[in-house]
Amino acid sequence: MPEELIKQAFDEEFEEQLLAIRQSMSYYRCALMEVETKFKVLNEQFSLYYDRNPIESISTRIKSEASILRKLQNRNLPLSLESMEENIFDIAGVRVIGSFLEDIYDLANYFLKQDDVHLIETKDYIQHPKPNGYRSLHLIVEIPIFLANEKKWVKVEVQFRTIAMNFWASLEHKLRYKKELSQERLAEIDSELLECAKLCATLDQKMQNIKGSKLAQEL
């Protein structure tokens, strides 16, 4: 087969895979809506039974096609729909910001008790922070979405953070990834950010303690 025909065959195959990936993205968007609704219902139940709302905010995001393909390439994985679904678990992401440390684990536990939520993986960066100070509770779950003619299970990453954790993570990203900074200055920033992360952790614990003391006085 001439070289041009080989290239054309590979290009056509890639275009077919890209189209399949794009079609699959709609499933991930549906899964995000399902998960977001679940947390809104939980928040409403807390309001009804406990007269408080543990969720400060909920946000969702979908990885771009370019980001997905780049991640597959970096891992030397096939650029296909099957490879994407089997190897990349954070295409669809939900971030739940809770008021207190205790709320993070309560929300995660209530969420996982639902019989249509299948837990795949847990990464607890609250109990075991990353070396840079990052803290968050990550769950990889699989939930069903109901299409016109089938039920499909879709993977979603759910991140739980307190307000302090989210504040730190948002600013860390802006401060750490300025490309024009020297390596020496980046090292200094890393050290300062780690100290800030420890202060945020202390703040979270103090706020939790105040909440516990307040409840004890009411009882």
Share of the chain above pLDDT 70, in %: 89
Domain boundaries of the chain, sorted by first residue? 3-164
Q: How confident is the model at residue 109 (pLDDT cuts 50, 70, 90)?
A: very high
Does position 9 have pLDDT exceeding 60, yes or no? no
In single-letter form, the type of residue at position 116 comes to D
Higher pLDDT, 141 or 217: 141
**Rounded-to-integer distance, Cα 197 and Cα 113, Å:** 31
Asked if residue 124 has pLDDT above 90, the reply is: yes
> Buried b vs exposed e over 77-110: b needs ≥16 C-beta within 10 Å?
eeebbebbbeebbbbbbbbbbbbbbebbbbbbeb
pLDDT at residue 55 in the model: 97
For the cut 60, the answer to whether the pLDDT of residue 216 exceeds it is no
205 or 148, which is more confident?
205
Per-residue pLDDT, averaged over 35-62, amounts to 94
Return the pLDDT at 65.
82
What pLDDT does 1 receive?
43
Whether 35 and 93 have beta carbons less than 8 Å apart is answered as no
Which pLDDT score is estimated for 155? 96
Question: CA-CA distance, 171 to 129, in Å (whole number)?
Answer: 17
C-alpha distance from residue 147 to each of 22, 82, 150 (Å) = 16, 19, 5
pLDDT tens, position by position, 73-83: 899 988 778 88
Give catalytic residue positions: 157
Residue 13: its pLDDT value, please? 67
CATH superfamily of 3-164: Beta Polymerase, domain 2 (3.30.460.10)
The pLDDT of residue 142: 97
